[in-house]
Every structure is written in C-alpha cells, then in structure tokens.
Amino acid sequence: MTRTVYVNGDYLPEEEAKISVFDRGFLFADGIYEVTSVLGGKLIDFEGHAKRLARSLAELEMASPAPRGELLKIHRELIARNRIEDGLVYLQVTRGVADRDFAYPAPETPPTIVLFTQAKPGLADSPAAASGISVISIRDQRWGRRDIKTVQLLYPSMGKMMAKAAGADDAWMVEEGTVTEGTSNNAYIVKGSTIITRNLGTEILHGITRAAVLRLAKEAQMTVDERPFTIAEAMAADEAFITSASSFVVPVVSLDGQRIGRGIPGPIATRLRKIYLDESRKAAI
Ligand code: PMP
C-alpha cells in the first residue's frame, strides 16, 4: 500500500507529492516541525505539540498554516488513511515559496505545510527501553535558539553519526561544561531519589514529553531538580534516561563507555516510562 501524505491541502500518494525547489524550507531550513506519536491509532500529547508549533511559528514570525482543529483533523485523516496503529505523524511548516533572498518574503506568502505518517509497529515495546541505551558526550555546536523546533538538524545528525562511529546509540551534547540535551531527546540523571534535568531556556528544546514526565514525577511525589548537570555528575549518577515523543522514556546505561549506576535500567526510569505510557494512552485522542 502506498503511503498517503498531505501537502498544502491535498491528500496524495507519496510519489505524487511535490515541493518547489524555491521552498524556503529547502533553501534556508526556514521551517519548523513537530512529531506526534500514535499508540492504538490515537495521538499522544497532541495539545502539547500544537501549542509548541504555535510558539515556534510566533518566534519566527511565520504564518500559521491552519488552526488547531484543522491540524487535528489532518492528523486523524492521515492515521486513518494509512491505517496507523502505532507510529508517528510528522508535520512540517515552512515560510513558503519565494525567489531566493535572505530577507523573509512578504508576510502574505502562503506557508508550505506537509504531513506524513511513519508506521512503527510495537513502538511502545522497543528493545532499547528494555536494555537501556549507551551515549557518548560531544560538543554542542548548534545555533543559539534550540527552543525553536526548526528543521536545521544537521548537527544532531552529525552527532548521531559520531555516536554510531563510537559504537554507541546516541550522543549527549555539552556546552560550557554542562549537558544541554541529547541529539533528539531531553537528558536526565538521577541521584539518590532526585531527578535532575536541565532547566528550560534557549539552550534546549522544550520537550513535550519532558513536561509530561516531570508533571507525572511530581504527582508521584518524586523530587525534581531543574538545573544544568555535568558529565562528571552523570558518571557518578545512580541512573540516567532520555525522553522524547517517539521514544517516551528510555534508560541510559552507559556514558562514554563507562557504566551509569549498575549499568542496567534503573527503577526510577523504568517506573516513569510505565507511568508515562499508561497516562498517555488514557489521555490519547
Ligand atoms: N530535544 C531535542 C533536540 C529534540 O530533537 C527532541 C525531539 N524532537 C526533544 C528534545 C524531545 O522533545 P519531545 O519530547 O517534544 O519529542
């Protein structure tokens, strides 16, 4: 079955979907995106992703392609047409098509909007969640507005390749001595019973999963300390984990080749993953 994608108002077979060579997303990475998980045919944390999309659009003075309700309808239509049980919906909005010029085109230029699905059978039962993952530390060489979810993902891509070359699963990025985040996820350590993760700012993406997991952790009477932490602290931590919309909560069991804690998924990460998945499934729309 060929995949149906959405481009600027049309549902099309993926081979027929076309974007202009003059699209600013292509020429300038002048675009933003969101990835929302689907479990049991329903969207996880759609409200959070819709809100962050609106924020990214506002920060870049980019026109909104459609109101929230319309976006929800498109997400659901694609899930239905592609029969997605477990998987992802990817959404991208760019500043549209204009002759190449660094200055933004006229504000009435229609934005480009693209959505597509990726089927991921068994998304919530990934082997990585059971075994935990290994990470390496690398320098954070991204731009300074990481709170805006832009499509300029080359450095995170390079980071994944550095991890792969080192035989690891992912990389944590370090700036001025502290960990910012993972290449495509937020980073956490646990010391005693305290969960430590970097505070929000322009240095990291404001993860939708991060917000939900921290809220659930507090509701479960866990202690949360939002502050930067060092690689040395992470090495000496009892456990570590990452969060993202597509991986939920995944334990990190080694850093730069050294075990974290006992080198197996820790009890807090394991519990948070279960709480997050249970609550998200209940709230899915
Ligand atoms: N940080 C970065 C750099 C990311 O790319 C992502 C995933 N898009 C996250 C954090 C996690 O955010 P979310 O929980 O909203 O997927």
Domain limits, the chain: 4-122, 127-283
Q: Which amino acid is at 41?
A: G
Pairwise CA distance, residues 36 & 61, whole Å: 23
- Closest by alpha carbon to 249, among 117, 138, 87, 124? 124
Place of tokens 């990585």: 128
Integer-rounded Cα radius of gyration of the chain:
19
DSSP letter, residue 43: E
pLDDT reading at 159 higher than 80: yes
Pairwise CA distance, residues 152 & 157, whole Å: 10
Pairing of strands 133-139, 248-255: parallel
pLDDT at 113: 98
- Closest by alpha carbon to 197, among 205, 206, 187? 187
Residue 261: CB atoms within 10 Å: 21
Residue 121: band (very low, low, confident or very high) from pLDDT cuts 50, 70, 90 = very high
pLDDT per residue as tens digits for the range 209-238: 999 999 999 999 999 999 999 999 999 999
Whole-structure pTM value: 0.97
DSSP letter, residue 95: -
- The reply to whether ligand 1 has any atom less than 6 angstroms from the CB of 245 is yes
Residue 59: band (very low, low, confident or very high) from pLDDT cuts 50, 70, 90 = very high
- The reply to whether ligand 1 has any atom less than 6 angstroms from the CB of 88 is no
- What is the architecture of the domain spanning 127-283? Alpha-Beta Barrel (3.20)
CATH number of 4-122: 3.30.470.10
Place of tokens 């997050």: 276
For the question of residue 73 being annotated catalytic, the response is no
Pairwise CA distance, residues 225 & 22, whole Å: 45
Average pLDDT over residues 66-89: 98
Point out the catalytic residue in the list 149, 164, 218, 282: 149
pLDDT reading at 63 higher than 90: no
CA of 238 to the centre of ligand 1 (A): 23
